[in-house]
Amino acid sequence: MGLKVVYSDQYDLNLGNHVFPAIKYRLTKEKLLEERVIEPPDIVEPAPASDEDVALVHDLNYIWKLKNATLSYTEILRMEVPYSPELVRAVWLSAGGSILAGRLALEDGVGVNIGGGFHHAFPDHGEGFCVLHDVAIAIRRLQKDKAIERAMTVDCDVHQGNGTAFIFGADETVYTLSLHQENNYPYPKPPSNLDVNLANGVRDTEYLTLLEESLDKALSQFDPQVIFYLAGADPYQEDELGGLKLTLQGLEFRDKLVFEKARAKKIPVAVTFAGGYARHLADTVRIHANTVRVAAEFVNSNKNYKIG
């Protein structure tokens, strides 16, 4: 059985000329098909998250404002993306995609959402290009369905997952690990269960050493039934919004390390993309495609590590 990936052409956030390259979702899907990492039947179309799913994380008033186009100017400014009906459709779909990726992970060992990872969204507002917290919604839905009790987030975006840390801050059923550049957005940074605050300019070897140490520490402290891996492309050395110095190869080793640590403990992994703002869009697409290729290699290795 090959890797199933969750994707919709309607993931495009309709941002126009914006630093967030929402076209990367479609381009990554096309790259994966071109390189035969996946075949067309491997692509699974998500349904939008229900409003009830979204309300497991987000305030009803915020949901109503999003659905009825009544956000204030300040609220839209804080999101840092232009409001549109297409944006709302995309983020509801992306949340549904992360729910589906979580279910696929529990079934197959790995599930991938070609999108998602909007880790700066808070229950009552969006910020940092993030409108709904798809990963939190997915975890809450899987818990509601009693598919899991415990989850871990492993966030390797260059920016700390402040929304994730806030949402799960008092929740002993979810462990949050964030490996990020300290001197970068967001300010302030609510505490995760484990924050690895990286200095500017960290390169492959140091990054990978710290990632391995932090994964070992997290997995010694907590026994998750699924890991949601936010595989940000923005620790890349050519990223416009990051200040780390990882190479393409270093980022690929990062992905392999996460999967190896999960497989050693038979923990399913659900992947979301999070950020990526390389000077050349092709580099962001390459990084995301490599993450999916690594995921496919682990599925195709026939190492069964589903929940027993």
Rounded to whole angstroms, how far apart are CA atoms 142 and 86? 26
List 18, 58, 119, 120, catalytic entry = 120
Token code pair at residue 167: 């949402």
Among candidate residues 155, 169, 72, 65, the one with its CA nearest the CA of residue 119: 155
Long-range contacts of 18-24 (CB under 8 A, 24+ apart): 18/81, 18/82, 19/240, 19/241, 19/277, 20/81, 20/129, 20/275, 20/277, 21/276, 21/277, 21/281, 21/284, 22/90, 23/281, 24/273, 24/276, 24/281, 24/284, 24/285, 24/288
Instruction: Give yes or no for a contact between 134 and 120, defined as CB atoms under 8 angstroms apart.
Output: no
Per this entry, what is the length of the chain?
Answer: 308
Catalytic residue list contains 280: no
Rounded to whole angstroms, how far apart are CA atoms 241 and 238? 9
Strands (E) across 5-144 are located at 5-6, 43-44, 110-113
Pairing of strands 5-6, 110-113: parallel
Beta bridge mates, 122: 125
CA distance to 106, 163, 218, 221, per residue, from 224 (Å): 12, 20, 10, 10
Instruction: Give yes or no for a contact between 241 and 180, defined as CB atoms under 8 angstroms apart.
Output: no
Task: List, in order, residues 6 or more apart from 6 with CB less than 8 Å away.
Answer: 43, 44, 45, 46, 97, 98, 100, 101, 104, 111, 112, 113, 114, 115
Q: Would you name the residues annotated as active-site residues? A: 120
